[in-house]
A and B are shown apart, each in its own frame.
Chain A
Amino acid sequence: MRRFILFPLLAFAALAAFLGASLGRAQSTELPSPLIGKPAPAFTLTQLDGPPAPFGPRDFSGRVWILNAWASWCAPCREELPVLAELSREAGVPVVGLNYKDKPDAARRMLVKVNPYERTVLDSDGRVGLDYGVYGLPETFIVDARGIVRYKHTGPLSREQAREKLLPVLRQLAGK
């Protein structure tokens, strides 16, 4: 009969351990991107203060590049600008700014001091953002020379994250 007391106790302990282990991970609101390993969704968008021709991922095929979704109404995006500029310089990789649901004037004003973007494209209605699964700005994607998305970072990039996470990926892709 003692077996029957032990069984619920063990079952409870197992359940508690399982739930307890999941508790720590529940803090994370970051979603894994289904885009990783897939081709970067195509788009053709007007550029902000760039060449008059529209820009699309095809224009950068053969190069490793970074796509950064941002907007002037997003405060963390502003803090991230110098980090992106530094990362781009250090890795020797261009950054394309996807200006998400913003006004060109406001976007231009934000880039006066620091502008990490080789190109800035205007996604005024957020349609391209939807294709990239953008759900919280800023978001940063690394696209390889074959146009495949290789990495995604959600949220503002700190210097440490840029150096420890993105830079090694960029170096590895450039080395190939």
Chain B
Amino acid sequence: MTMRTALLVLLCTPLWALAQPGASLDERVNALSAELRCVVCQNQSLADSQAELAQDMKREVRSQLAAGRSEAQVVDFMVQRYGDFVRYRPALQPSTWLLWVGPLLGLLAGAVVLARRLRHTPEDPHDLNDADRLTT
């Protein structure tokens, strides 16, 4: 795995997947609630929201985790009902590919432009035009 893919995988890893194996139910509920969006308030996670629907959804998260379902199963349950929007961290899928890779592409394009520019910087002062002379 190259450095770049490793970084991408880490960025896409939900908080709950990084939780300690022996985490308590409370800790698991809290970690998962931070990953799920309150669909009424939309810019808050379930963990942050006091809206009634968010409380209901949090209760559902707790009861499902307590019943032995995994974090991924609970996320799927919510996505089936409220759509992908309910995830605070978009899944890595074809429709979000640009979202995840876009910034890296931008960075890469910037690096290419910078590298080309540096390579073409003339060493000989006689090659400089007026604008460049002012900055050197």
Contacts and interface: CB of A to CB of B under 8 A. Distances in A.
Interface of A: 1, 4, 7, 29, 31-35, 101, 126, 130-133, 135-136
B56 interface: yes
Contacts of B52: 101
Contacts of A136: 40
B120 to A, nearest CB: 9
B60 A133 contact: no
A130 B57 contact: yes
Given A31-B39, A132-B81, A133-B83, 20 more contacts: A1-B129, A7-B113, A29-B42, A32-B85, A33-B83, A34-B80, A34-B81, A34-B82, A34-B83, A35-B81, A101-B52, A130-B57, A131-B81, A133-B39, A133-B82, A135-B39, A135-B40, A135-B53, A135-B82, A136-B40
A86 B3 CA distance: 62
B81 to A, nearest CB: 4
Interface string B37-50: 00110100000000
A2 B57 CA distance: 56
Interface of B: 39-40, 42, 52-53, 56-57, 60, 79-85, 113, 117, 129, 131-132
Contacts of A29: 42
B83 A32 contact: yes
Nearest to A15: B106
A29 B129 CA distance: 53
Contacts of A130: 56-57, 60, 81
Contacts of A126: 56
A-B interface, 4 closest residue pairs, ranked by CB to CB distance from nearest: A135-B39, A133-B81, A34-B83, A133-B82
A136 B40 CA distance: 7
B123 to A, nearest CB: 16
Contacts of B129: 1
Nearest to B81: A133
A1 B40 contact: no
Contacts of A135: 39-40, 53, 82
B132 to A, nearest CB: 7
A31 B82 contact: yes
Nearest to A35: B81
Nearest to B117: A4
A131 B56 CA distance: 12
A90 B51 CA distance: 37
Contacts of B132: 1
A35 B83 CA distance: 8
Contacts of A31: 39, 82-83, 85
Nearest to B132: A1
Nearest to B129: A1
Contacts of A133: 39, 81-83
Contacts of A35: 81
Nearest to A135: B39
B78 to A, nearest CB: 9
